[in-house]
Chain A
């Protein structure tokens, strides 16, 4: 276990260094002159003093070789200093931290809601495999996968906020503002989770240990709860981790529509405003989080499934 975590920590550092290099190169790829961008972010005036630009270039070390700049920058990144935002002139790290908290709240609400519905629904669909309930569930799941968020979100806002007036239409100020975006965001993972759960519970239903459990006097429901769920949930956990890693980066569409100050909107406005430090910081944070989440999922998998040994050795 310790070796496994150590190995994952090394992977984390190596991956983050590589990703940082790519993130570092973003301004060059985008053909943006950082010095000009910074000055433009400070003085709205478009007439730019080329002497001032040159002075800033030297002051920021932008005249140094590329690799030298990179390692200076990387050193600061690993100390948690992601620089100042071009637009707000506040530390990027603080803003990302705040936005990730918001996105995490939204993502976890949506995903746990999806899980809470998908586990029983997927199990029931497996039990009723090939019958009407199963057909309806599969049909609805396909619908959920194909409904685009940019359509569903405004429709729900029109219905529940504008027409019925039950919920606020946008903003981020407590539980009420969480309901609509979480509902929109949960549909697609709900569809995936329920279908994965269904498939895995169909395998479990035919497993010999369920037959043996029933021969001891457990009813079908009892056997599934005591011996089925724990085995059937494992594939769902894998999919859950993938979704969580994906959603922590923020959902641009939902966050923009509902005016939620999360990662999606942060990245969206960073792109719009050419805010390079913000973009770089976001990329690094999201990749780092994804690795941490997948490692957590692997550890959890080992806890659920005793035949999987979590170790540093290749198996």
Chain B
């Protein structure tokens, strides 16, 4: 096993992300991924998952920007790093795959070239070497007739194929960390399972850490070692996957698990959380979940929930919970 003294693959400390200087879309994000670990970042749409993911490789589209805190990958600082240093880390130490795989491929560039691109950049491979290696990688990610497929274009691939190509491209120069932002959301259910299986296989073959960003709890228990739950731009709970799924401590995590289809598969009614996630433009005093919280105390105006943001509490089960009701 990995000793705790190892440099974490990803370390995020007190990260704030804002639109311009005014509107905060993510606040106080702390995240750590050890080597070989898979961490799932879970939350509803609009909770700030994708923005957080992009900030990790410093590719936030303006006017979004990191206003506080820091990100390091394999001990190398990302926040406020020089552009050249960032280019050497991206695609080399960290690969990324995205939600809409087909649109992530250049429509007028053969996929083999795109898969081999990181090798050309980071391993100084020649055009021919990169292409040969790309064909091998495509074969490895399960693309039939890889040498023919390497010469095809994005529009000739299905969504699942395109995601396999993206995975091959992201893993081409053997990164330590793979950021997978909703990698299966846009795919058919059967293809989803194949892609997740592929990620598992790759993870075992290499010493790969994965940050799996998803709203789909059903894939979390199968893939992740630890789960981090985000709500409205902040982390509300974090802990090992088994206890999070079995005994969630934060009311939001509980509600999220109750809503997931797995729990209602027995025939009960479909649950939902009343209300909607607040837009980042609305600032909520106190705990950001308190307006929707089923916890009785939170509804009271005079309670701490409505006045002050709860700090992280380490519970007996080993969870970090941001909730006034949490007991150590």
User: What are the residues of chain B within 8 A of A206 when measuring CB–CB?
Assistant: 61
Q: B121 on the interface (CB 8 Å rule)?
A: yes
B-contact bits for A72-105, CB 8 A (1 contact / 0 none): 0000000000000000000000000000000000
Contact of B90 among A216, A227, A231, A306 (CB under 8 A): A216
Q: Is the CB of A215 within 8 A of B117?
A: no
- Return the CB mask of B37-75 against A: 1 if under 8 Å, else 0: 000000000000000000001010100000000000000
Contacts of B61 in A (CB 8 A): 206, 211
Contact B90 A217 (CB under 8 A): yes
Tell me if B107 and A212 are in contact (CB < 8 A).
no
Contact with B along A216-237 (1 / 0, CB 8 A): 1111000000110011000000
Further contacts, 6 of them, CB under 8 A, given A213-B117, A216-B91, A307-B108 = A208-B100, A213-B114, A214-B90, A215-B59, A231-B106, A307-B153
A211: nearest chain-B partner, CB-CB:
B59
Chain B residues, CB < 8 A from A306: 107-108, 153, 155
B88 & A217 in contact (Cβ 8 Å cutoff): yes
Bound together, the chains give a CA A211 to CA B170 distance in angstroms of 13
Flag if A227 contacts B106 (CB, 8 Å): yes
A36 to B200, CA, bound (A): 91
What total of A-B pairs shows CB separation below 8 Å?
80
Q: Within the complex, which residue of B84, B103, B117 is in contact with A216, where a contact is CB–CB below 8 Å? A: B117
Separation of A208 and B166 alpha carbons in the complex (Å): 12
> Which A residues are CB-close (under 8 A) to B95?
215-216
Query: Are B108 and A217 neighbours in the complex by a CB distance under 8 Å?
Result: no
Quick one: given A217-B122, A218-B117, are A304 and B87 in contact (CB under 8 Å)?
no
Cα of A211 to Cα of B91 in the assembled complex, Å: 12
Closest to A207 in B: B103
A209 close to chain B: CB less than 8 A: yes
B109 CB–A CB distance under 8 Å: yes
Contacting pair A217 B109 (CB below 8 A): no
A212 touches B108 (CB 8 A): no
B322 to chain A, nearest CB (A): 30
State whether A215 and B108 are in contact (beta carbons under 8 Å apart), knowing that A208-B103, A306-B155 are contacts in the complex.
no
List 25 A-B pairs, Cβ < 8 Å: A209-B103, A209-B104, A209-B107, A211-B61, A211-B104, A212-B98, A212-B105, A213-B117, A214-B59, A215-B96, A216-B91, A216-B114, A216-B117, A216-B121, A217-B88, A218-B91, A218-B117, A218-B121, A219-B83, A226-B117, A230-B106, A231-B107, A305-B107, A306-B107, A307-B107
A8-45: CB near B (< 8 Å → 1, else 0) gives: 00000000000000000000000000000000000000
Interface range for A: 20 to 34
Among A217, A219, A226, A304, the most chain B Cβ lie within 10 Å of the Cβ of: A217
- List the B side residues contacting A209 at CB < 8 Å: 103-107, 154
Question: B residues within 8 Å of A by Cβ?
Answer: 57, 59, 61, 83-84, 87-92, 95-96, 98, 100, 103-109, 114, 117-118, 121-122, 153-155, 166, 169-170
Bound Cα distance A230, B88 (Å): 25
- Residue in contact with A215 in the complex, picked from B91, B103, B109, B154, CB distance below 8 Å: B91
- Contacting residues, chain A, for B100 (C-beta < 8 A): 208
Report the bound CA distance from A230 to B59 in whole Å.
23
In Å, the complex CA distance between A239 and B306 comes to: 60
B90 to chain A: which residues have CB within 8 Å?
214-217
Interface residues of A in 265-303 (CB under 8 A from B): none
Q: How distant is the Cα of A217 from the Cα of B94 in the complex, in angstroms?
A: 9
Which residues of chain B come closer than 8 Å to A304, judged between CB atoms?
Answer: 108
* Cβ–Cβ contact A208 & B98, under 8 A: yes
Contacts of A227 in B (CB 8 A): 106, 109
Which residues in A have their C-beta under 8 angstroms from that of B84? 219
Instruction: List the 8 closest pairs (A to B, CB-CB), nearest first.
Output: A217-B91, A216-B91, A212-B104, A208-B103, A306-B153, A227-B106, A215-B96, A209-B106
Closest residue of chain B to A229, judged by CB? Answer: B108
Residue in chain B with minimal CB distance to A219 = B87
Specify which chain B residues have a CB less than 8 angstroms from the CB of A218 in the assembled complex.
87, 91, 117, 121
Least Cβ distance of B119 to chain A in Å? 10
What chain B residues lie within 8 Å of A208 (beta carbons)? Answer: 98, 100, 103-104
Most buried by A among B83, B91, B100: B91
A230 close to B109 (CB less than 8 A): yes
Chain B residues near A226 (CB, 8 Å)? 109, 117
Smallest distance from the beta carbon of A303 to chain B beta carbons, Å?
10
Given A212-B98, A215-B59, A219-B87, CB of A230 within 8 Å of CB of B108: yes
A218 to B173, CA, bound (A): 14
When C-beta atoms are compared, the residue in chain A nearest to B122 turns out to be A217
Q: With the chains together, A304 CA to B107 CA distance in Å?
A: 10
Q: How far is the CB of B32 from chain A (nearest CB, A)?
A: 21
Which chain A residue has the least Cβ–Cβ distance from B83? A219
Instruction: Please report the C-alpha to C-alpha distance between residue A307 and residue B170 in the assembled complex, in whole angstroms.
Output: 24
Please measure, in the bound complex, the distance between the C-alpha atom of A87 and the C-alpha atom of B170, giving whole angstroms. 72
Known: A218-B87, A218-B121, A219-B87. A213 touches B108 (CB 8 A): no
Closest to B92 in A: A217
- Considering the complex, give the chain A residue whose CB is closest to the CB of B96: A215
CB < 8 Å neighbour of A213 from B106, B107, B122: B106
B154 proximity list for chain A (CB < 8 A): 209
Closest B residue to A307 using CB positions: B155
Within the complex, the shortest CB–CB distance from B86 to chain A, in Å, comes to: 8
